[in-house]
Amino acid sequence: MASAVSLAGLEKSYDYVIVGGGTAGCVLANRLTEDKDVRVLLLEAGGDKTTDPLVLTPGLVPAVYGKDEYDWNFQSVPQSTLNNRIINQARGKMLGGSSALNFMMLVYPSKASIDAWAAVGNPSWNYEALKPYLKKFATVDVPSASTKDICALTYNNDTVAYGDGPVQVSFGEGYGVTNKGWFDTFASLDLLSKTDARDGQALGAFQNANSIDPATKTRSFSAVTYLTAEVRARENLKILTNTHVNKVLFDTTGSEPVATGVEINVNGTVSQVSANLEVILSAGALQSPQILELSGVGGKEILAQHDIPVVIENPAVGEGMQDHPIVCQSFEVNEGTPSGDVLRDPAVVQALLDMYTADRSGPMGQLTISVAYTPLVNKTGVVSDECVQELFAGRDFSNPARAAVRDIVANPNEPTFQYILFPTQVHIADKPENMATHLIPVEPENFLTIMTILNSPFSRGSVHIQSSDPKALPVWDPKFNDDELDMELLARGVQFVENLVAPDTAMGKLLNQTGRRLPQLKGDDLETAKEIVRQRQISVFHVSGSCAMRPRDEGGVVNERLQVYGAKKLRVVDASIFPVEPAGNIQAVVYSVAERAANLIKEDRKAGKV
């Protein structure tokens, strides 16, 4: 019987030990235990919050941020290109990981952004290889007629649910004049999507679905959907929460180190558990590399600083970190234009909670964010091929990853940017205490926010241990805009926002044209747009790439079967293996990679390759 309480019943060994019960780890625990002959131990540092209303209620997302029982609450080092501001990074510290505290947006990647994985040395990982798994992980409900009408879902002809996977996905209700204004504005700019992003190519405004169960109006996340009561009842699955993994254990007596298990800490009690077949790290892009370094896998200089013996030298561990930069511009709305800022009033919050509790009606069970994909744009619209080439002229693209990103940005049929219509104001602090700092309305006026995301950044950051103490968070340095091309691109994306909020657009007519902006700047010229980036860019949760799947001599940490170079019986399965950041919100790709990884692991076991 699966347990999530104590060390009671913990055996000395399991076939697979999965470190991290997050988005990917829950998928693996489910799929690997489909074989009754395989025994799996799933270890999670946080608790089990699968019945917690703060996690399950879609409208209460900000309530979990910064709270130790839910959120690792990472803070970056000061970012020199962002006025030395510190950037917050919420990370799920509970069963389900970040699928339990993200904004539930279900956005599919572009074909080109996944094909880039093959282009950088992973021929078996392209869009066609991942596509079956993009459908396998979820069941997408059919949008209602009213949602299709308001959100211009003309290309969605579903009459039955799409897919039959565990994660329940819906379009929901509650869309209104602001969403219609969004789609009408993009239509006037000839940027309304005519194709379905699920097919790998979409440009223009479209309505994303959300990981919200349409039957219960609750968050549908990995711990609820992949670790159902039936799955937890499997005799070959053991779940331990509130269990910190100190390091991976190795047998170094042979020609190549062999992962033999892990050292764990439960309430101060340190013990060891053996893995007969494999140890699988699914601790996320910030903590899988941390565990590798604590275990002696990493750059020798970093390990030497903390007196950790080198087991496998690989300076690529913790490097290559990628993240989607997001610039948040808030605009005061006209009186009568709906804004989520009314939630500053506790009485309004309570009334909406009462509605939700009574019959699951109202905004607390919905998400009304709308999005758009665009090619490279600026203040005049879509940038010409000539201007794109001028932007790239004289720059070095000898690195395959840089060349792959350049090819995406240069392609007028690929989404350089993702724009998001967000229903509230966003507050940017120099040193935010947590992600809720950005979301709690502090200005007295009501706002909407338009967010500009660079889908394919050139900059690469890092994450490394700062101590040999396993409970000390590693140092995260995203190095936002370290490659000046990112600033150039983001500034052009910010310029384009002026086209969306102009007085004669449907969006502009919803805004108070003489009212406030956050910041109080117009991105008409490139230098002002860059200042907006410096003042208003943060992270959008999509950290990846720190244990990249690439050839080892090109900065790789894992091979195409996600096995750690230089080790036997050790894999990494989470967003840290992404060699190139995919377009859009990444939860769909994390689920899909985990589903495919489960199949790879099963194949290798049956072939005797572990």
164-212: pLDDT as tens digits:
999 999 998 899 999 999 999 999 999 999 988 888 888 999 999 999 9
Answer yes or no: is pLDDT of 583 > 70: yes
> E-assigned strands of 224-285?
237-240, 244-251, 258-266, 269-281
Measuring CA to CA, which residue among 206, 136, 132 is closest to residue 169? Answer: 136
Mind spelling out the 3-state secondary structure of 206-240? Answer: ECCEECEECCCCEECCHHHHCCCHHHHCCCCEEEE
Looking at residue 494, its pLDDT comes to: 98
Distance, CA of 95 to CA of 2 (rounded, Å): 14
Question: Model confidence at 4, in pLDDT bands (50, 70, 90)?
Answer: very low
pLDDT of residue 8: 63
Mean pLDDT of the chain: 95
Residue 518: strand, helix, or coil: strand
Q: What percent of the chain has pLDDT over 70?
A: 99
Structure tokens at 536: 């208003």
Cα dihedral across residues 134, 139, 142, 148: positive or negative: negative
Would you say residue 2 has pLDDT above 90? no
- 264/291 Cα distance (integer angstroms): 12
Annotated catalytic, 244?
no
Q: What is the mean pLDDT of residues 254-262?
A: 96
Choosing from 324, 427, 438, 542, the catalytic residue is: 542
Note the pLDDT of residue 163.
Answer: 86
Q: Rounded to whole angstroms, how far apart are CA atoms 124 and 128?
A: 9
Report whether 245 belongs to an annotated binding site.
Answer: yes
Question: What six digits make up the tokens of 82?
Answer: 């962002």
For the residues 399-423, what does the mean pLDDT come to?
95
Q: Evaluate if residue 114 carries a pLDDT over 70.
A: yes
Provide the phi-psi class of 525: left if phi over 0, else alpha when psi is between -120 and 50, else beta: beta
Range in 5-14, 433-442, 527-536 the model is least confident about:
5-14
Least confident interval from 34-48, 104-118, 143-157, 340-354: 143-157
Residue 55 in this model has a pLDDT that exceeds 70: yes
Dist. CA 577–CA 31, nearest whole Å: 20
Give the integer Cα–Cα distance in Å for 576 and 548. 6
Residues 6 or more apart whose Cβ sits within 8 Å of residue 193: 152, 155, 202, 203, 204, 205, 206, 372, 373
Average pLDDT over residues 9-33: 95
Res 528 pLDDT > 50: yes
Chain centre distance of CA 162: 22
Identify the CA nearest to 542 among candidates 236, 390, 323, 271. Answer: 323
- Give yes or no for residue 23 having a pLDDT over 50: yes
Task: Give the model's pLDDT for residue 94.
Answer: 98
DSSP string of 318-387, one letter each residue: T-SBB--EEEEEEEEBPTTS--GGGGGSHHHHHHHHHHHHHHS-SGGG----EEEEESSEETTEEPPHHH
Percent of the chain with pLDDT over 90: 94
Question: pTM, whole model, 2 decimals?
Answer: 0.96
Q: Identify the CA nearest to 103 among candidates 366, 324, 323.
A: 366
Taking 3-state DSSP, the helix, strand and coil percentages for the chain, each rounded to the nearest 5, stand at 30, 20, 45
Q: What is the pLDDT of residue 159?
A: 79
Q: Is 347 exposed, middle or buried (0-12, 13-18, 19+ CB in 10 A)?
A: exposed
Bridge partners, 192 (sequence order): 205
Confidence grade of residue 610 (pLDDT, cut at 50, 70, 90): confident
Residues 6 or more apart whose CB falls under 8 angstroms from that of 567 comprise 250, 256, 257, 258, 259, 297, 311, 312
Which pLDDT belongs to residue 492?
98
Q: What DSSP string describes 425-472?
A: -----SS-SSTHHHHS--SSS-EEEEEEEESS----BEEE-SSS-TTS
Q: What amino acid occupies position 444?
A: P
In angstroms, the CA 254 to CA 215 distance is 54
**Can you give the pLDDT at residue 158?**
80
pLDDT the model gives residue 242:
97
Q: What is the pLDDT of residue 1?
A: 36
- Is residue 123 exposed (0-12), middle (13-18) or buried (19+ Cβ within 10 Å)? exposed
Structure confidence at residue 448 (pLDDT): 98
- Residue 7 has what pLDDT? 66
Q: How far is CA 106 from CA 53, 169, 406, 549, 581, in A?
A: 21, 8, 26, 24, 16
